[in-house]
Amino acid sequence: MDIEQLGSFYLGRVWDPESGQVRDEPVLYDSKDLTTHALCVGMTGSGKTGLCVSLLEEAAIDGIPALVIDPKGDLGNLCLNFPRLEPADFEPWIDPAEATRRGESVPEAARRTAELWRNGLAEWGQGPERLERLARAAEVAIYTPGSRAGRPLRVLPPLEAPPADSLLDPDALNDRITGTVSGLLALLGLDADPISSREYILLANLLDRAWREGRDLDFAGLVAAIQSPPFERLGVLDLESFFPVRERQALALRLNGLLASPGFAAWLEGEPLDVARLLRAEDGRPRIAILSIAHLGERERMFFVSQLLSEVIAWMRGLPGTSSLRALLYMDEIYGYFPPVANPPSKAPMLTLLKQARAFGVGVVLSTQNPVDLDYKGLANCGTWFLGRLQTERDKARVLDGLEGASAETGTAFERGRMDRLLSGLGKRVFLMSNVHEDRPELLHTRWALSYLAGPLTRGQIKQLARRGVEAEAGASAEAEVPAPERLAGRDTAAADRPLLPPGIPQRFLSPRPGASGEVFVYRPALLGQARLHYADARTNVDHWQERTLLAPLHEPLAGDPWQQAQPLPAPPSLSLEPSVAGKFAPLPSPAAREASYASWRKGLSSHLYRNEPLLLYREPRLRHTSRPGQSEADFRAELRHALREQRDLEVEKLRKRYAPKLARLEDRIRAAERRAEVQREQHRESKMAAAVSLGATVLGAVFGRRARSVGTVGRAATTARRASRIGREGADVERAEEQVQELARQLRELSAEFEAAAAQLRAPIDPSGIELEEKTLRARKSDLELESLLLVWAPWSVSPEGIAEPAY
């Protein structure tokens, strides 16, 4: 049984409803069919989680990344992959209470579970090598937005203006504003209806105005803008009539209370909510990013899901179109997020994904045990339905309605009575798979999951997984971005007052990051340089402008070029004219108090940027792909992985088209030869029967007949002899016909083996780390270099009672 086929997911085996048995025939699902999305429905205990885990495992094995929204905590089980299948691997995940109920110790339960898993996998044709393959193919990581149990996720970055190309696309801009405003109001517990909610309309207009003007907002700026909007009318009404100042003040206070709450800081920590980054590991491998939200309250879950879906749409629309599966978005238990009547913030972006994601190779897979609570008009966009055991007749009726709608969308026939009968007979782990890309629905019994299904993970278990080393690399890289804490030097306490500067020296203050705290704040001086660099190269078709922001600390005594110690900032920081928190001031080096120094430092910044800020590009010579400006090596390798998968899909399709007619012709010839052989065998049998009857008559006539009939007996004997001769010829014809069938069968086996050999060359897993890349560096055009600003800035550092200082910006 070959379960490793090109672009196919091994989901289980065919289920025979007549015998109630599993047939030894694998169910292989074409991964490309997921671009038309899928829905999995089944009551508790139907095996729905096991099927969906298997689907995600198959995607990982095939190199397809996935975003997994996990409201219950079940899908963290994808991290529990134990290739050695040793009892010690299972022991930390055994429930002691369950073991006690069984009359076992935890080690005994672990041994029994390891044996159960080993035997279960073997029964379904899966050995340790498949577990190893899954472990090598993709990274699995658990993110916990609003918590530090797993990888923290920064869901609320500053409200930066989107890229310029998004501003030119009204739909993309509107989707981004809708997602941001709806999510924020959901977190505040306010109605986010775009038509009737004054809060929604005000915030949407504030963001729209700022972003169209190319201005970034932060939350402090948003609170101020609510109090004093930059416009006087909304619609045909003046602002005071539409939203009086007293009520705007109440909204501002409510938002400020949210920002000031201790738990809010967790939403601003960790990796950014960057879809491209979530979908790949640091080494370029695809990632299953499990977004665990079981620990959040209902409002917080709604806020996060709507923010995530909006980010997926923004990321998706920046991709080129493709017919191959690029990534999966899976959501477990979608109940409440896609209802048939209400319009929660998550519904609009989910509907957009179901309608548009196909063109970008993004597959959406949804799961629920409450089919009556879903918008079936939207789910008519799902091309594949996995239907398990249902709880009520009402659930079955709604499922049949949805299937009928999906069939109508694609113009395929729908046999409601037959589907009703099949759904009524489903047992545990048996699903009816209805795929619009196939001729008929199919019954399948799901395979044994590769991952250990331990049940919902607790926050403590997620912390345990975070210590396994998968998270260590990300933690180390995150720490590298922030200067290490240091013991406060004497120079920081030498000056307590703000230095006086000549009026020609502009100075600003970096804003402390949310949640920053310390016994004392110390402001340290630094140079902030901002410039635009122009990279142009005809051979690589590059014509690219790039912003650069450098922060160079100014230490006393100041010797040499301060830009040698500069650190690049990912984006221009938030600045203010006055410090937002009280603090002391570190000494200012004397050159920084002279205006003439800044002219010299401007020239030094230009030289530093020209020498030290080349543009690095990567090129894959075989495909002739070149990375985009600013694209990291890992991102480029991930892009190449998809390009190679597209190429593989095209080559597989060509291979099938080349061999299919030859195989079909041989099969037709075999069937024709088998028919001829059967005719020859039938004629041969009839001739032998007639000869036997004739011979018997001749013998009986010779023994019992009269002498007068002797002449007739001789004649019959001659006829019998002729028939025997014809039987011999017919026997030879049968042999030749059977030899022809065997020869054609041999040719078919050889052609099939030739096809399999050609397919095997395409079947090798795509390893992005093994792709050889060439590097090319471009220097900025010196004549085009634009210095936008050079400022003296004061950077806040927080100081603990022990005298340990660390950056607070």
**H helix or E strand, kind and range, residue 117:** helix 106-123
* pLDDT value for 530: 92
**DSSP reduced 3-state for 68:** strand
Tell me, yes or no, whether 504 and 583 share the same domain.
yes
| pLDDT higher than threshold 80 for residue 355 | yes
- Whether residue 117 is contained in a domain is answered as no
- Whether residue 119 is contained in a domain is answered as no
Residues 99-119: tens digit of each pLDDT:
999 999 999 999 999 999 999
Tell me, yes or no, whether 143 and 158 share the same domain.
no
* pLDDT value for 713: 52
Least confident stretch, 334-343, 424-433, 448-457, 692-701: 692-701
Residue whose tokens read 């015998």:
19
Residues 676-717: tens digit of each pLDDT:
878 777 776 776 676 666 656 555 565 555 544 455 555 555
Tell me, yes or no, whether 147 and 160 share the same domain.
no
Tell me, yes or no, whether 388 and 294 share the same domain.
yes
Tell me, yes or no, whether 749 and 655 share the same domain.
yes
Residues 754-763: tens digit of each pLDDT:
877 777 776 6
Tell me, yes or no, whether 608 and 639 share the same domain.
no
Last residue of a domain, one of 233, 267, 301: 267
Residue 280 CB-half CA count within 13 A: 21
Q: Which is more confidently placed, 488 or 145?
A: 145
pTM exceeds 0.75 for this model: no
Residues 220-238: tens digit of each pLDDT:
788 888 998 989 899 889 9
| pLDDT higher than threshold 70 for residue 603 | yes
Residues 49-105: tens digit of each pLDDT:
999 999 999 999 988 999 999 999 899 999 999 999 999 999 999 989 889 999 999
CB atoms within 10 A of CB 510: 24
Confidence of residue 474 (pLDDT cuts 50, 70, 90): very low
- Whether residue 118 is contained in a domain is answered as no
Query: Burial of 202 by CB count in 10 Å (0-12 exposed, 13-18 middle, 19+ buried)?
Result: buried
**DSSP reduced 3-state for 634:** helix
Give DSSP secondary structure letters for 670-696. Answer: HHHHHHHHHHHHHHHHHHHHHHHHHHH
| pLDDT higher than threshold 60 for residue 585 | yes
Q: Which one-letter DSSP state was computed for residue 534?
A: E
In our burial notation (b when 16+ CB lie closer than 10 A, e otherwise), range 279-301 reads: bbbeebbbbbbbbbbbbbeeebb
* pLDDT value for 489: 45
Q: Which domain holds residue 577?
A: 486-614+779-807
- Whether residue 105 is contained in a domain is answered as no
- Cβ proximity of 190 and 199 under 8 Å: yes
Residues 502-538: tens digit of each pLDDT:
878 888 998 887 656 666 788 999 999 999 999 998 8
**DSSP reduced 3-state for 576:** strand
- Whether residue 629 is contained in a domain is answered as no
Query: Burial of 761 by CB count in 10 Å (0-12 exposed, 13-18 middle, 19+ buried)?
Result: exposed
Cis peptide bond N-terminal to 572, omega within 30: no
* pLDDT value for 467: 67
* pLDDT value for 195: 83
Residues 388-445: tens digit of each pLDDT:
988 888 888 878 877 777 666 666 667 777 788 788 888 899 999 989 888 788 999 9
CA-CA distance, 773 to 617, in Å (whole number)? 10
| pLDDT higher than threshold 50 for residue 476 | no
**DSSP reduced 3-state for 319:** coil
Last residue of a domain, one of 466, 481, 496: 481
Least confident stretch, 341-355, 623-637, 648-662, 763-777: 763-777
Quote the number of domains for the chain: 4
CA distances from 477 to 271, 481, 516 (A): 11, 7, 21
Provide the β-strand partners of residue 507.
792
Last residue of a domain, one of 452, 481, 510: 481
Tell me, yes or no, whether 207 and 262 share the same domain.
yes
In our burial notation (b when 16+ CB lie closer than 10 A, e otherwise), range 173-190 reads: bebbbbbbbbbbbbbbeb
| pLDDT higher than threshold 60 for residue 478 | no
Using H for helix, E for strand and C for coil, what is the string for 12-36? EEEEECCCCEEEEEEEEEEHHHHHH
* pLDDT value for 51: 95
Give me the phi and psi of 484, to 5 degrees please.
-65, 150
- Whether residue 57 is contained in a domain is answered as yes
Tell me, yes or no, whether 399 and 277 share the same domain.
yes
Q: Which is more confidently placed, 34 or 737?
A: 34
CA-CA distance, 297 to 301, in Å (whole number)? 6
Tell me, yes or no, whether 460 and 507 share the same domain.
no
Tell me, yes or no, whether 286 and 377 share the same domain.
yes
- Indicate which CATH number applies to the domain containing 457: 3.40.50.300
